[in-house]
Amino acid sequence: MSVKSQFGSKIGLIAATVGSAIGLGNVWRFPAETQANGGAAFLLLYIICVFILGVPVMLAEFSLGRSGRSDAVGVFRRLSPGKAWWLVGAFAILASYLILSYYMVVAGWTAEYLWQSITGNLYDTGAIIEKSGDIAAADAIFAKRMDQYICSDISPLVFTYIVIAINIFVLLGGVQKGIERLSNVMMPLLFVLLLALCAVTLSLPGAADGLKFFLAPDFSKIDASTVINALGQTFFSLSLGMGILITYASYYPADTRLTRTSVIVSLMSLLVAVMMGFIIFPAVTTFGLDRQPLEGATLVFVTLPEVFARMPASDVWSVIFFLLLFVAALTSTVSIAEVSIAFMQDRFHMSRVRACLVVMMPLFVLSAVCSLSFGSLSDIKIMGMTIFDSLDVFTTNVLLPLVSMGVCVYVGWFAPGTLLRSELTNNGSLRSRVTTAVLFIIRYAAPLLIAAIMVSKFI
Ligand code: PHE
């Protein structure tokens, strides 16, 4: 068997893991959830969930990956041979592959909007009307654009294929020369882009009001459903339950400090979410767009282009924003594809090239189906939802909580001896003051809360 790959540097492994965590979850899911759930009160809950629940569950995945030194199925087979625990890993691989097939399409949209911003097409006829302040007219123009760029058959498909091809190129490079190198360039770029956008939106006239909504908590808004939403956002945005962190941690060197890494990754992910809040809330408040719900895709592809259209140098801000979105999506697609690639390599002893092709080629069909489910295939409904939506709902509401639950129960109760303790202390060479608390959360709090999320989704 080939020697297990490893990340080459501490910075590189952090950049790669942060790159996975920072995705569309931070950029568009977080602002939408924040607006729908009462602004700052939701932010506060989310921060609590990230540290009380997200970090411990992340540590459980890290510990599994680094001690098992294999893919998401392989770690369970190695640590508990002959037991059925590998099924948890199998569900993780299934979830990750399904998510991959539709996330590629979304990544394709970001590439398309980036391209249309670069060529100036996004703002051509619209610009005059939006600057005159007619919100309804601008809404209609950009909604029509979104239709044209997302709900048609050919162009979104072309961009999805381009993104799949870029993914293949990166993934063929392997862990160090592909994933790590990409992340080392993309993550600093992402922060530069974020800072540039923050600087502009924070100097808009409505910035103070926007920030007030985002940062002054109204605790009367917190109820059971807010808590459930904050929990769901935590799992999704930290890439938990997808097998990604297990797979990446299997590439961590033995001296990586897992606790420190998990805190850095969570803080960075949180920072990006908060910066997105600084960008979006001042912008929509300034231009009077805060009265409509900032619904995920519409927020990104209709509301924000409207904002940019009203600012001088629309194209520049638009290019910066969609480049940011594209970078965030790319490092996430790469990480989630790696789950299946690692599985193929470890389980079937495939070469890197072969594993990449076996995993990525079917996407040219699967992602096409997802993309077309906004166009020609939009009449096909599964339980009342399009193919795209049903995949999204099935994975986020069923598979991800199931996998996270499996990981917590396994690491908390059934993993061999002192797995968590020895991983958090690097086999006793570090002191860890948090092991007992982390173990408590993984054993009791996390499974209970995950069960609550699942139950609530079914009611
Ligand atoms: N944390 C990622 C995000 O916010 C979750 C994700 C990772 C989704 C990889 C898809 C692929 O987008």
Does the C-beta of 334 come closer than 6 Å to ligand 1? no
- Residues 55/266, Cβ–Cβ less than 8 Å: yes
332 touches ligand 1 (CB under 6 Å):
yes
Ligand 1 mutation target, pool 18, 24, 106, most atoms within 8 A of CB: 24
Whole-number Å distance between alpha carbons of 164 and 101: 10
| Helix extents (H) in 238-257 | 244-249
Measured from the CB, is residue 54 less than 6 Å from ligand 1?
Answer: no
Residues 147-186 have pLDDT tens digits of: 888 888 999 999 999 999 999 999 999 999 999 999 999 9
What is the CA(102)–ligand 1 centre distance, in A? Answer: 11
Asked if 104 and 160 count as a contact pair (C-beta separation under 8 A), the reply is: yes
pLDDT of residue 248: 98
- The values of phi and psi at residue 362, to 5°, are -60, -20
- What does DSSP assign to residue 382? B
Token pair recorded at residue 207: 């910035």
Q: CA-to-CA distance for 38 and 20, rounded, in angstroms?
A: 27
Q: Looking at ligand 1, which residue's alpha carbon is closest to its atom 5? A: 239
Each of the 459 residues of the chain gets a pLDDT tens digit; together they read: 456 899 999 999 999 999 999 999 888 889 888 988 888 899 999 999 999 999 999 999 999 999 999 999 999 999 999 999 999 999 999 999 999 999 999 999 999 999 999 998 888 755 555 555 676 777 788 888 888 888 889 999 999 999 999 999 999 999 999 999 999 999 999 999 999 999 999 999 989 999 998 998 888 888 888 888 898 899 999 999 999 999 999 999 999 999 999 999 999 999 999 999 999 999 888 887 776 666 667 888 888 888 888 888 888 999 999 999 999 999 999 999 999 999 999 999 999 999 999 999 999 999 999 999 988 898 899 988 889 888 988 898 889 999 999 999 999 999 998 899 999 999 999 998 899 999 999 999 999 999 988 888 777
Question: Is residue 223 classed exposed, middle or buried when 0-12, 13-18 and 19+ CB atoms within 10 A define those classes?
Answer: exposed
220 CA → ligand 1 middle, Å: 30
For residue 418, give both structure tokens.
């002192």
Tell me, using a 6 A CB cutoff, whether residue 331 lines ligand 1.
no
How far are the Cα atoms of 154, 226, 244, 411 from residue 70, in angstroms, in the given order?
39, 37, 12, 16
- Candidate of 58, 103, 248, 276 to mutate for ligand 1, largest count of ligand atoms within 8 Å of Cβ: 103
Pocket test for ligand 1, best of 332, 392, 400, 403 (most atoms within 8 A of CB): 332
C-alpha R_g of the chain: 22
User: How far is 135 from 288, CA to CA, in rounded Å?
Assistant: 8
Residue 106 to residue 410: CA distance in whole angstroms: 33
Torsion angle, alpha carbons of 14, 72, 94, 444, to 10 = -90
pLDDT at 133: 64
Which ligand 1 atom is at minimum distance from the Cα of 27? Answer: 4
Q: Which residue, by CA, sits nearest to atom 9 of ligand 1?
A: 332
Question: Which residue's CA is minimally distant from atom 11 of ligand 1?
Answer: 332
Write the CB contacts of 183 (distance below 8 Å, at least 6 apart in sequence). 12, 15, 16, 18, 19, 331
Q: Name the residue among 453, 54, 9, 449 with its Cα closest to residue 270.
A: 54
- pLDDT at 1 (0 to 100): 42
Q: Which domain holds residue 314?
A: 2-456
Q: Which CATH number do you get for residue 346?
A: 1.10.4160.10
How many domains does the chain contain in total?
A: 1
